[in-house]
Structures are given as C-alpha cells and as structure tokens.
Structure 1
Amino acid sequence: MTNFNEYHLDPKQFLFLKSFQDNWQVIKDEFANFMNHASSEELKFIYDILGPKSKTIKTKGNAKYSAFGILFQGFFIEEYIQVHQIQYPDYELDDASKKALALREKYFLNLARVIKEVNYINDSVIRNVYFGTFHPGLDIKLHVNYNPHMNRGYLGLIVPEGDVAMKICHERLYWHEGKFMVLDHSYPHCPHNYTNYDRTVLVVDFFKPDQPREEVIQFEREQVAQRMQDNPYSLGVFGKSDKAKVEDFIKYGLAHQLEWDKALKA
C-alpha cells in the first residue's frame, strides 16, 4: 500500500489526469515513433527548440537528462515561441514557430488531442507537457522546482527494471509504466537512473486545483516573465529559484549529497 503525504500525492484525486493515463500506450507509441523515425535535423530541432533548458540544475558525472515537449505555460510550443518572441541563433522566429507546429502535427497528434480535451473541460488546468528521459547513470543534484502554484505528474512510459528512482525528502519513489507519480516538486528532490537503459516519462504540470485560479494565473505570469528574462530557453519551466539550500540537504536526510554538490563547484 502506497502512503501518500503532502509531497507525494494520490493521482486519483486529480480526475483530469485519467485521460493521459488511459492513453499512455498511444502516447508512448508516438514518442517511440518519433525517436525511431525522426531525421537528424528533426531531432536537433526538437531538442534545440522544444526542450526546456536549465542553468541551475546540475548532474553528477557525464550522464545526461534530455527533454522536449509541446505545451508550455498553457500554450502549444508554436504559440509560446510567438507570445514570448524567442530569438534562436539558428532559426528565425516565424520559421521556428512553423517548424514546431509541423513537427507537433506530424508526430504528436494524439498527445495534443488529449491536452486540448483536458484543458477544454478543466479550464486550462494543464500548464506544461513534455517528455523527460534519464539516460543511464544519471544522478541529478538535489534541487527544488519552485512552482508553489503547481503539482507535477510523471506518467511512466519507458521504465527499465532496476534502480531508477526519485529521492524526495526521506523517501525513494519508483516510476511504473502506465501509472502516474504526482509530486509537489517544490520539495527538495534528486532523481537518478543507475540502470543501463533510458527511462522516459511524460511530465504533466498542472495548477493546484485547491488554489484560487486568478491568483495562480497571476503568479505564473509574473514567474514566467522573470524566468524568460533570465533565460528564454527555459520556456518558463526552470529558474534561478530551483537551487536547494544547505538546510534542505540536512533537513531531508540527504546530507551526503552535499559532498559531490561541493565537488561540482570546485
């Protein structure tokens, strides 16, 4: 029996997540189809343009985390590029937006359909949707994602057997294919993948339903404006506030992480 608490939440209480879970195999197949058939140019574009970039979250060693998505702060990626007038070194703004739309329609029609249906019925509760892959050996430094207005759902798509887990506070939690893990990711956490295979989930960020909608929208607007000013390639997902404090390491029994955290700065 899973014990839920203030940071590890029961997915069943968020009924709008059921549509994603019911379609998890289709979503997984779309991801696999893209990875197996996309050209090198398409792969480069998607990771360059559709992948949120962080300047603060660090990894141990050379193992990497990769991500790309189609929805950011409630906008499909081609709209988000236009709204924030993102300037890319290798692409003109309109060209980047058109290419993003074309790739979304070519590879992720079913995922986009689910997002549209859920947001239509639930007043745009879904804010970010992207694929996140932990490559073998990944060990991410303890951090927070300072989004007190949102929760983060992780829908397992490709989860290998073995030690691939989320360490949050004093717990170690595991992903399962076809199931959601829902966290309040403003709590300090540090995931890892100590297997020899990729782990991929669909990340679904959504407004906390118990908070007044006008207030969370205003908070998001101000937060995203600051994040985009600091780093437009964050797509509003990451910011300077993602750094955990020393007291977070100690409070949540993860003091050992301080040693290689210090080593990263050496």
Structure 2
Amino acid sequence: MESFNEYHLDPKQFPFLNSLQENWQVIRDEFTHFIHNASPEELKFTYDVLGPKSKTIKTKGSAQYSAFGILFQGLFIEEYIQVHQIQYPDYAIDEAVNKAVTLREKYFSNLAKVIEKVNFVEDNILRNVYFGTFHPGLDIKLHVNYNPHMNRGYLGLIVPEGDVAMKICHDKLYWHEGEFMVLDHSYPHCPHNYTNYDRTVLVVDFFKPDWSRKEAIQFEKEQVAQRMEDNPYSLGVFGKSDKAKEEDFIKYGLAHQLEWDKALSVSS
C-alpha cells in the first residue's frame, strides 16, 4: 500500500482529477496519434510555441526533456498568447494564435473537452495542462518548482519498465500508466529516466484546495507577471525561483548523487 506525506499526496483527495484519469487512454491515443502523424511544420510549431521553456532547470549530459500543452494559467494557449502578446521569432501573434487553435481542434479535442468540463464544474481549478516526455538518459538537476499555491499531478500515459523515477526529498517514486502521482513541487526534487525508452505523462497543475481562490489567483497573477518578464517563453510555468537552495543540496544532494552514480555505473 502506497504511503503519502506532505509532498507526496493521495490523488483521492482531488476527485476532480477522476475525469482525466478515466480518459487516460483516449488522452494517450491523442498524444501518440499526434507524434506519429503531425507534419514537420506542426511538430516545429508545437515545440517552439506550445512548450514551456526553462532557463533555470538543468539536465546532466545531453539527454533532453520535451513538453507541449494546451492550457497555461487557466487559459487555452491561444488566449494566453493574446493576453501576454508573446512575440515569436518565426510566427506573428495572430499566426501563432490561429495555428494553436487548429492544432488543438485537429489533435487534442477530447483532452480539451475534459479540461473544459472540469474547469466549468470546479471554478477553473486546473491551471496548466501539458505533455511532458523524458527521453532516454535524462537526469535533471535538483530543483524546486516554487508554486506554493498549486499541486502538480502526473497522469501516466507511456511509462516504460525500469529505472524511470522521481526523487523528491528522501523518496524515490515511480509513475504508472493510467494513474496519477500528485506532488507538492515546492519541495526539492530531481527526476530521471535511465531506460532506453521515452516516458510521457500528462502534467496537470491545479490550485491547492486549502488556498482561498482569491489569494491563489492573486499570487499566480504576480508570479506569472514576473516569470513572463524574465522569460516570455516560460508560459508562466518556470522561473528563477526554481533553483534549489544550497541547504537543499546539502540535505538531499548527496543521497541523490549516490543514486546517480549507482545507476550510471550499472548502465555503463
């Protein structure tokens, strides 16, 4: 039986996630259909425009993390682009908006319907929804995601067997297909994928129920304004506050480094 604590949370506390979990195979199929059938131009646009970018979170070596989504800070991506007037090197704002709508309607209509349903019933509790893929060999440096007003749920879509895990504080947690892992990402963590296959989840950020909605929205507004000023391509998801503190590395870094060394020695 799985144990939970202040940073590894029981998904049953958040029944509004059930709509996404019940549709996990449909959501996975939309993702795989897109990956296998999108044109090179559609793929380029998706990762250039629909993927949140971080200047702070680092990986070890050359392995990569890729992400793209349709909902950011409670807005579908085209609305988010318009509100923040994001300037892209290869796309005018109106072009980016139109392409984003077309892609969602073409490839992710079922996911969009589930998001709309949940947010209609739950007063826009879902803030960010995006696909996150750990490519083989990925090893992310210890960091935090300073979002004290939100929790982060991971819905397993494609999870290979083997050592692909989230190290958070002193725990090592594993994703499972069709199930949510829910974390408070304000705690130091560093995930990895030591398998030879991609791992893909649906990342779902949502307001903490114990925050008043007014306070959560105000905090988000101020935080996102700062993040967008620092890096408009973060889509408000990542920021300078993602850096782990020196004391976090002292407290957790050694244990994680030993795990890295052990795993790397086995794989080499």
User: Normalised by the shorter chain, which TM-score bucket?
Assistant: over 0.9
TM-score (norm 2): 0.95
Counterpart code for 2:53 = K
Q: Which structure 2 residue ranges, 5 or more long, are not aligned? A: 261-268
How far the C-alpha of 1:12 sits from its partner, in A, is 0.6
How far the C-alpha of 1:210 sits from its partner, in A, is 1.0
Within the alignment, does 1:224 sit opposite 2:224 as a pair?
Answer: yes
How far the C-alpha of 1:246 sits from its partner, in A, is 1.5
Q: Is contact 1:249–1:257 with CA below 8 Å preserved after alignment?
A: no
RMSD: 1.2
Aligned to 1:169: 169
Counterpart code for 1:190 = C
CA distance in 2, matches of 1:147, 1:251: 21
Q: Which structure 1 residue ranges, 5 or more long, are not aligned? A: 261-266
CA distance in 2, matches of 1:237, 1:90: 22
CA distance in 2, matches of 1:75, 1:257: 38
Report the CA distance shift for 1:237/1:103 in structure 2 as closer, same or farther (over 3 A).
same
Deviations 1:89-126 (A, max 9, x none): 10000110110010011000000000000000000000
Aligned to 1:118: 118
Aligned to 1:84: 84
Count of residues paired in the alignment: 259
Counterpart code for 1:35 = I
Aligned to 1:263: none
CA distance in 1, matches of 2:40, 2:253: 43
State the secondary structure of the residue aligned to 1:252.
Answer: helix
Counterpart code for 1:204 = V
Report the CA distance shift for 1:23/1:201 in structure 2 as closer, same or farther (over 3 A).
same
How far the C-alpha of 1:255 sits from its partner, in A, is 5.4
Q: Is contact 1:169–1:253 with CA below 8 Å preserved after alignment?
A: no
Q: Is contact 1:170–1:253 with CA below 8 Å preserved after alignment?
A: no
Deviations 1:36-66 (A, max 9, x none): 1000000000000000000000000000000
Within the alignment, does 1:68 sit opposite 2:68 as a pair?
Answer: yes
Aligned to 1:44: 44
Counterpart code for 1:44 = K
CA distance in 1, matches of 2:128, 2:42: 21
How far the C-alpha of 1:252 sits from its partner, in A, is 3.0
Deviations 1:224-262 (A, max 9, x none): 00000000000000000000012012223645549x9xx
Q: Is contact 1:142–1:257 with CA below 8 Å preserved after alignment?
A: no
Q: Is contact 2:142–2:253 with CA below 8 Å preserved after alignment?
A: no
CA distance in 1, matches of 2:92, 2:211: 38
TM-score (norm 1): 0.96
Counterpart code for 1:206 = F
CA distance in 2, matches of 1:27, 1:247: 39
Q: Is contact 1:57–1:143 with CA below 8 Å preserved after alignment?
A: yes
Q: What percentage of aligned pairs have identical amino acids?
A: 83
Counterpart code for 1:3 = S
CA distance in 2, matches of 1:241, 1:21: 30
Aligned to 2:181: 181
How far the C-alpha of 1:134 sits from its partner, in A, is 0.1
